[in-house]
Amino acid sequence: MSLDLAFDDAQQAIHDAVAHFCAAGGRSAEADFSPARWRELGALGVLALTTPEGEGGAAELVAALEALGAAGFPGPLAASFLAVSVLTAAERARIGDGEAIVSVGAPPLMPWAPHASLFLIAERDALWHATPRGPVEPVATLGGEPWGRLQLERGAALGSAPQAFALFDLSQAALLAAHGQSLLDAACDHARTRVQFGRTIGEFQAVAHPLADASMRLAGARTLARAAACAFDEARGATPTRTLAAAARTSARGAALASAHVAHQTFGALGITLEGPAFRWSRRIRQLASQPPREGAGGGDDALLAAVGG
């Protein structure tokens, strides 16, 4: 028995609409986060896709995230889809409209904290509401995401949230695979045009074969993310679905990191410059890849330092 993982007409329409939205905004992987653009994304209906009020499931979510990841659209995407799975209808509406930005993690170092108005503490497979105690100290990060150091007072428990964590992993998987593909596409374009010893460098096996290997790994990761999304929509967050979602995230993490390694080698010296075509993508890949899994995230600075640049 085979499973058709191609997007159906509705999913493809979501993907194309989001891709057009990103292209119209002229955003890139190095662009700063814009609350106004985030609200526009909410108005498009993307942030509410998986809510009871939305009109989609995990497969539609992956379709949208593949387009957002390919464009390098900045924002707490995975955290938002986790949050709308466990919060009240009023809170879901604020996140879905893009009016409320959510920070999910283990204090004192919290992602997107300088912009956040909703905070959730994640430990193992459970979530809690949280309230800031004192100001947020901004922290620079490797990928340019606005993180912050702050103290949080733990509030009401939201309990075990398998569906929410599965959606988080699926979101990360789709984003990582799309980031990796955009970086690899740029490296392939460079290999087709860069001439050395009278030939384009893509004609040399030492360049072409690693690029092909990276492409195959990304294709596999993308396929696994779509398969996990289909399983989620059928099983609605059962334990096997969580396992598949975690596997998809692990696969995408490895594939994206491999694409970053190959791309930097393909670009040569150009690949290690801050202004070059590779670094802006690879630093975001490394930031996403270095964040700990939400299940088992236990802890503060030690657990999260790999995700920050200082």
| Share of residues in the chain with pLDDT > 70 (%) | 90
Residues 250-298: pLDDT tens digits? 999 999 999 999 999 999 988 888 888 888 899 999 999 987 655 433 3
Residues 13-42: pLDDT tens digits? 999 999 999 998 765 554 688 999 999 999
User: Is the CATH number 1.20.140.10 carried by domain 163-290?
Assistant: yes
Domain boundaries, the chain: 163-290
Residues 195-240: pLDDT tens digits? 999 999 999 999 999 999 999 999 999 999 999 999 999 886 566 6
Write the DSSP string, the chain: -----S--HHHHHHHHHHHHHHHHHT--TTPPP-HHHHHHHHHTT-TTTTSTTSS--HHHHHHHHHHHHHHT--S-HHHHHHHTTTS-HHHHHHHHTTSS-EEEE-TTEEETGGG-SEEEEEETTEEEEEEEEEEEEEE-BTT---EEEEEEEEEEEEEE-HHHHHHHHHHHHHHHHHHHHHHHHHHHHHHHH-EETTEEGGGSHHHHHHHHHHHHHHHHHHHHHHHHHHHHHHHSS-HHHHHHHHHHHHHHHHHHHHHHHHHHHHHGGGGGSTTSTTHHHHHHHHHHHHSPPSTT---HHHHHGGGB--
